[in-house]
Structure 1
């Protein structure tokens, strides 16, 4: 299951503990197979709780950004799709 892998990767890469019970599938993006290579699927989850303080354990950078700041970052195409989907949903008017 992807949430098992996410739980492990989050712990290994940014040093926080998440419980799968606090993960919700949020969005996904995919590419079609091309040139004999399989497509790529990226699953995005949101975590409502975690334990610990995020830190860079794999040499990257950890930070907090606004949606506008994230929009200005250079990103691979699937990340652009995920950001557009995530942030457009968060800022829509709630259903009435």
Structure 2
């Protein structure tokens, strides 16, 4: 994870938006990081993550007990947090 991110602050932010359990949020973010780390970069060194593929991957993990809507909500709230901090954005 990016060193500029306060993980506890981000988890509190996500929990506040989604009402999800912080332990569940931590688990979802861990699986997300694994997915991103295994993604292949293109010729420009950019990694394009398809959000549907990411959600499917997270939901396929045996230890994830959340439904698709909650997983999407957690990931969306994480992106909101990262964009608020200027650490992420969407590609057109």
The normalised TM-score by structure 2 is 0.32
Q: Which has the higher strand share?
A: 1
| Structure (1 or 2) with the greater helix fraction | 2
TM-score of the aligned structures, taking structure 1 as reference length: 0.31
Q: Which has the higher contact order (CA 8 A, sep 6+)?
A: 2
Largest Rg, 1 or 2: 1
